[in-house]
Structure 1
Amino acid sequence: MVETRSSGMTRRGLLGAFAATTLGAAPTFSKAAGFLRGSGDIRRIRMYSGRTGERIDMIYWIDGKYIKDSVKEINHFMRDWRNDLVKEIDARTIDIMAASHNLLEVNEPYMMLSGYRSPQTNAMLRRRSRGVAKNSLHMRGQAADLRLASRSVSQMAKAAIACRAGGVGKYRGSNFVHMDCGQVRNWNG
């Protein structure tokens, strides 16, 4: 595993990624109540789970404020599907996912392979694979493993790395990208 570290701007980089996509994304959300009220400064997440069949497509942030009910739905969607345990997902992870998606300029939702993992699930996965960290950020609600059919692992990782806001891992063999809100770093590059 090759790991690179950067002390680049995290919050500013992430906000820049959103700012770069706001104008292009605004027409897509023209019917959103928050957009009609004000400046249109919004954040949206679109995902589906191949494991549960569930889909989510929602605006979760408007004009500088997270929408509590939307974030609660995201937490439920990103639960550990093996045992139905829900954990609060770190909003920074959701922001990284949404900003990366915007940079990719796709309408296709992410396929979420893994969001929150309970310690039991993480231990079981560790027994099956060398690539599962003992102290995975998935157990803290700070990571997601995602896939897009229309974009390569390299394209997805490049967008996430451009946010300069957390960890990005490329898993070409399994066709997914890991995104987290931990220290800025990337691996398998």
Structure 2
Amino acid sequence: MNKATKGAIAAGAAAVLLLGGLGSLALWNDSETLGGGTITSGDLRLTLVEDSDQWQDVSYDVTPVDIDISTFRIVPGDTVAYTANFLVEAEGENLTANLTADISNVVEGAGSAELLAAIQTSVVATDEDDVVLPTDGAGAAVITRTTNAPADQTISVEVRFTFDRLTEGTVAQDQSIDLTEFTLDLTQIRPL
């Protein structure tokens, strides 16, 4: 093979490599603009209805009664409930959310870790027609936005704080927890 042939082969190979690095060589092409419309996101909000909140003793063996939570002395087996009305804004197709009580930010008094550990929470909610909303079995109320339901509705919420009745001896006696930092969380869920 002579030098000219070798040079031509090398130049051809270089051209193929350069064109290959630039992508494919497109000749004819076409496109069409489609009238797809607009996508708008929904919203999920939880707002306390002013002056609707109160505390009650709802222990299983007493008649429910309003209490001052700052002076109530809880004992094993007691259940106190925070009740309030909330405006739920749930706008969006296929929107389902869990309503849970979060006590992870609750401040325990000095030496009060046992009391905090002995408190269990659960949430029950009813809609505007006094229909109890379903629960997830783990202490959360489940709110599902159906297509024909109003996007905004007021629900009644009861967050129960139960002092484990199996607490024995002197465990959790003379202890305190500050519930002013507990939150009610409305979180979208979407099964995989």
Same fold by TM-score greater than 0.5? no
| Structure number with larger C-alpha Rg | 2
Structure number having the greater helix percentage: 1
TM-score category, normalised to shorter length = under 0.3
Higher strand share: 2
TM-score (norm 2): 0.21
